[in-house]
Amino acid sequence: MNDDARWVHTWACMPQRAEAADLPPAPEGGRGPSGSGTTLRQTVRTSVGGRRLRVRLSNAFGDAPLAVSRAVLARPEGGRSGARAVVPGTSVPLTFGGRASTRVPVGALVVSDPVELAVAPRSALTLSTHLSDEGVLWGRTTHPGSRTTSHVLAGDHAEARDLAGAAPVEHWYVLTGLEVVPDRPARAVVVLGDSLSDGRGSTTDGDDRWPDQLAERLRAAGRTDVAVVNQAGGGNRVLADGVGPSALARLDRDVLALSGAAWLLVLEGINDLGTAAATASAQRDVAEDLVRALDQVVLRARARGLRALGATLLPFGGSADYDDPAGHRERSRQRVNHWIRTSGRFDAVLDLDRAARDPARPDRLLAAHDVGDHLHLGPAGHAALAAAVPLDVFR
């Protein structure tokens, strides 16, 4: 089999348009000399390893072409996510069609040429990108929920060991995918979700979101043939755009178009229930619409040969934002979960509701899992979700 058929995503993030608060910080020392541009250093962590790499740079939400003058891969100091420095002697320049620079058209993405660089499963990599544009125009395409520190510095320092004086920011920009040619044939499970999967409540630079912890379980079990690709975004909804395009709108881009995708794992719908009116009729309608939408997701995934894994929706009792005294939203959650469990539409059902809830109060998260807002999970809650996924569904 040639490499064109063997590429698989080992990491990705959902791109979305930056709100005002999500734009990159001004580099330390201002804009730098005229025309000096900006260096952006970011780290990501693989799920499966490989011997060849390539990256995807996106300008999905840009207002102008994205000018990239240089991009360099390296290993971060100490193997740490969020590290500002890289290990000397590990830098590997990227090219794009044989050139060091590229321009990404508005709304498009660019895939780099492959580079020979062996990486192990669950290892960190740094991408340092010099962006020629002044200001923050390049930061329109972002992933705000990175839970990983990136670094911004005026000028071209893509091959510098340390970006001393760089401004830190907990977002990813421009970089939306990392693909590998794995050492053994591998396929990817793609998580389609919201902040519960994006890692709200997990540890910054700790890589302990539940999809990360699932990847660790797979590695520990010797399943280095399964990549875990997290395409979740905080605030995301299934039925309507909000914080980023809806799950229905982004399914093709964020799941079906990914190299190596073989399974779709859906854990999404809480934000649809929580933003709909807390009346009996409105909640009945949104529950019915969610069931139909999830059925569409399954149909579209199967049409592309993916197995569909349905995760039950987690409880939110006590949440100041989503709980309602009359319990209409909780009844809607139960309706949707009943359909997920009993419809037979999914190839497998992952009962993450059962794994996260308090047995004595099943409308609430277990206290040990709750980050404190009765909606999101702390690291222990993320661990509970990862532990609840049976590895034999990836067959």
Predicted pLDDT at 242? 86
In this predicted structure, the answer to whether residue 33 has a pLDDT above a threshold of 90 is no
- Report residue 243's pLDDT band, with 50, 70 and 90 as the boundaries: confident
Domain end (from 111, 143, 178):
178
Q: What are phi and psi of 135, to 5 degrees?
A: 70, -150
Domain end (from 178, 213, 241):
178
Predicted pLDDT at 35? 56
Is 208 found in the same domain as 308?
Answer: yes
DSSP 319: -
- H helices within the chain, ranges in order? 195-198, 210-220, 247-251, 270-275, 280-303, 328-342, 352-356, 379-387
Is 139 found in the same domain as 35?
Answer: yes
Q: 86-120: per-residue pLDDT in tens?
A: 999 999 999 999 999 999 999 999 999 999 999 99
Number of domains in the chain: 2
In this predicted structure, the answer to whether residue 75 has a pLDDT above a threshold of 80 is yes
Burial 359-390 (b: 16+ CB within 10 A, else e): eeeebbbbeebbbebbbbbbbebbbbbbebbe
- Quickly count: other Cβ atoms within 10 Å of residue 1's Cβ: 6
Is 167 found in the same domain as 210?
Answer: no
Is 347 found in the same domain as 209?
Answer: yes
**What is the pLDDT averaged over residues 149-162?**
96
Amino acid (one-letter) located at 359:
P
Is 122 found in the same domain as 195?
Answer: no
- Report residue 34's pLDDT band, with 50, 70 and 90 as the boundaries: very low
Closest to 190 in 3D by CA, of 230, 239, 242: 230
SS3 275: helix
Residue with tokens 């875990």: 228
Alpha-carbon gap, residue 25 to 13, rounded angstroms: 20
Range of the domain at 65: 3-178
- Residue 93 belongs to what H/E stretch? strand 92-93
**What is the pLDDT averaged over residues 347-357?**
98
Alpha-carbon gap, residue 245 to 167, rounded angstroms: 29
Report the predicted TM-score, pTM, of the whole model to 2 decimal places. Answer: 0.96
- Report residue 216's pLDDT band, with 50, 70 and 90 as the boundaries: very high
Task: Tell me what percent of the residues of the chain surpass a pLDDT of 70.
Answer: 96
Task: Give me the CATH number covering residue 241.
Answer: 3.40.50.1110
Domain end (from 161, 178, 195):
178
Q: What counts of helices (H) and strands (E) characterise the chain?
A: 8, 22
Q: Which two tokens stand for residue 22?
A: 């999500």
Residue with tokens 């009346």: 279
Mean pLDDT of the chain: 95
Is 64 found in the same domain as 12?
Answer: yes
Is 147 found in the same domain as 92?
Answer: yes
